[in-house]
Structure 1
């Protein structure tokens, strides 16, 4: 009860927070694209930069559920290729976050998501004829963009999805690699946000504890749903959710 009163939110705002927590769990074990609506939902309740401190602990809990289901399916070679560049993106994101306002945050993320959507649609149309770039620049670009968009808006899911889909990952490999990559990245972001943005506190951690049932329910349902979806449906749903996220961020 103290947590509820300390945030001074309306009933409907709490409903949206619970929905967001549910979607975090669902996205981590089911459709990763369902994480994108969480960003504008939480931002509308708590504000731009403040919302990133609210979302991050929720994501880490969701990552833990994802690791339970998919921990054996990670492709560590691809994770290791991206991580150094991802940390570069995180540092740039920290600097930008201290000098860019909330509106500019959302605009940059929206543009990134739209570009991702265009690439995803192009890949689908090319099908087996699509050739994945082999140069080091591809890993550098995807890693840096993932780190930057993750830091300023927890919105790297679409970019990382493009990378994995471009590499031809199937469902289990997709989910396992995503789970480990974002678990590492999100843990790395905690000290950065505590020290530089000061938007994670015992109060926000208390909110995360209060949302555990919603995250767990979403994670359980996501693990069930993902088993019912075939590979083609999986790719189409990723594209649809990316499109929805792009439109929502521009509104």
Structure 2
């Protein structure tokens, strides 16, 4: 789990979509629902580090998401009460895979779509993304790929991508703490594990900040898209 914690920190300062890989590792080592609370606190640490490192934020993209994120969070909390872990993972994996497919189709099969920089996503896309992000982050801390695809569609540069992504998840993850607590997902063992793993998150964040300096915008987009697809597949196949 130390390696997974390093990946969490790395993802927060570089390729956001890969954090879902760490979510999968923690879910394998712990009961899936309780693991979401343990990972949540590590993600918040990573968010705060990224915000301090990347301060360029596209607020116009975030404000379009706000109205639909809260219903997504509530829907996710309700969903967790009525389904088992396997159904939850596969539902999220299928949702992510559909979003990856749409993004790849728009980017490669229809290259004329969304080609201008800083494209403002349509309100329908923003609403669907917000709901999906709220739902997936509440149920499995797996909204990273969802938001990665949304920011890729907006064609913002990698520094603004990371800063906006970190700000969004800091706000969302902090709002999830009372919901997770009300569901009884925080445990003494999980909190103790978080304390041990924080240095690994810090190490990953430092590595991510170093690596991203040497990555081109095109490489950043390709790796982000591939990581989103791998995350979706891991949730479907586990």
TM range (shorter): over 0.9
2:101 match: 118
132-141 vs 207-216, greater mean Cα deviation: 132-141
- 1:209-230 residue CA offsets vs partner (Å, 9 max, x unmatched): 2111100110000000011100
Structure 1 runs, 4 residues or longer, greater than 3 Å off: 131-135
1:230 match: 216
Q: CA deviation at 1:126?
A: 4.8
Structure 2 unaligned blocks of 5 or more:
none
Structure 1 unaligned blocks of 5 or more:
1-16
Q: Secondary structure at the match of 1:73?
A: coil
The count of residues paired between Structure 1 and Structure 2 equals 233
- The TM-score, its normalising length taken from structure 1, stands at 0.88
**d(CA) in 1 for partners of 2:109, 2:170:** 32
* Alpha carbons 2:18, 2:145 under 8 Å: kept: no
1:158 and 2:145 are equivalent in the alignment: yes
Q: Which has the larger radius of gyration?
A: 1
**d(CA) in 1 for partners of 2:101, 2:211:** 26
1:129 and 2:112 are equivalent in the alignment: yes
1:7 match: none
**d(CA) in 2 for partners of 1:82, 1:185:** 11
2:66 match: 83
2:131 match: 144
**d(CA) in 1 for partners of 2:124, 2:97:** 21
Q: Secondary structure at the match of 1:155?
A: coil
**d(CA) in 1 for partners of 2:125, 2:2:** 37
Q: Trace 1:147-186 onto structure 2 (pairs within 5 A).
A: 147-186=134-173
1:55 match: 39
1:100 match: 83
* Alpha carbons 1:119, 1:162 under 8 Å: kept: no
Q: Trace 1:199-214 onto structure 2 (pairs within 5 A).
A: 199-214=185-200
Q: CA deviation at 1:138?
A: 2.0
1:69 and 2:56 are equivalent in the alignment: no
1:221 and 2:207 are equivalent in the alignment: yes
CA RMSD of superposed structures (Å): 1.5
- The TM-score, its normalising length taken from structure 2, stands at 0.93
**d(CA) in 2 for partners of 1:134, 1:78:** 8
